[in-house]
Structure 1
Amino acid sequence: MNTINVREIKKMRLERHWSQEQLAEMSGLSIRTIQRIENGGNAGLESLKSLAAVFEINIIDSDKKEEIEQIRKEEEYIQNLKGFYKLLAIAALSLVVPVFVAINDSNWSFFLWMLFSWAVLLGIYSLNVFDFFGEAWKKKMIAKKFKKK
């Protein structure tokens, strides 16, 4: 993919012989937004993403670089945090099993251990299924880490 500056959008549109109306329709933006961007006005991140998809490029705007980098860092942090919690749950299960088997050293111990293991694994899986780590949790963790309000 090529990269391009926001200020070259009009040039790219004209090279393709597209009208502002056509670009607006393809990008899902309003004609007024296209006009504002082409005249050097501010473009929101979502507008830039829409235009990048239409032109099949990465759009670079010095004003947006920091915002894009911050979003990338936040997403990476959330993925790492989710992985940590999942690993912590698996580690807890692997530590509890030997203790459980030692305490219940009888004919039922294997059955109870299997039942307990399945219950824990289903519990861990249900965290994802029932969206425990959903958008509200994600926003809370990002706000906590990056001190957003």
Structure 2
Amino acid sequence: MIVRKLRLDRGLSQEQLAEMAGISTRTLQRIERGARASPETLKCIAAVLDTDFSLLRKEQTMPAEPNSLPPSTGLTPEERDAMEYVRDIKGFYGHAVQYAVVMVVLLLLNLFTNPDYLWVVWPALGWGLGVAVHGMNVFEVFNVFGTEWEKRQIDKRLGR
């Protein structure tokens, strides 16, 4: 995650950094999400970001927490939380856009094939409910499965 922080601090897009480092954009995306990278790749990124290779290497060797961003000495807990939150919001917006595009295509298909019966309402309601629940979860409208619930479940699993 330190790569992402350094990239954003320098105002670079993923495409720009990847091109400058001589790696693919997809490789950079994977590294920013916590995937392992070869020392050569990390050296190229460190050179472009004008940072110490050992800082990037250290992050690669630290164990990641499950379902979380990898811990890093370069990120504060607040920065990690903010990045996770932004990633969740981005996921929700992507889900909402996919829903809208598919529903428009289904509506057109419905109108061209059987305009007398609007069957498109059923998938729109079903998937729309899923998008709404996703949004409520991301924006914490109803925090049913929040931090306290997670702690109770962990204690339950550990027999405490």
Question: What TM bracket, shorter-length normalisation?
Answer: 0.3 to 0.5
Greater per-residue helix proportion:
1
- Larger Rg computed on CA atoms: 1
- Kindly indicate whether structure 1 or structure 2 has the higher relative contact order, using CA contacts under 8 Å at least 6 residues apart: 1
- TM superposition score normalised by structure 1: 0.37
- TM superposition score normalised by structure 2: 0.34
Greater per-residue strand proportion:
1
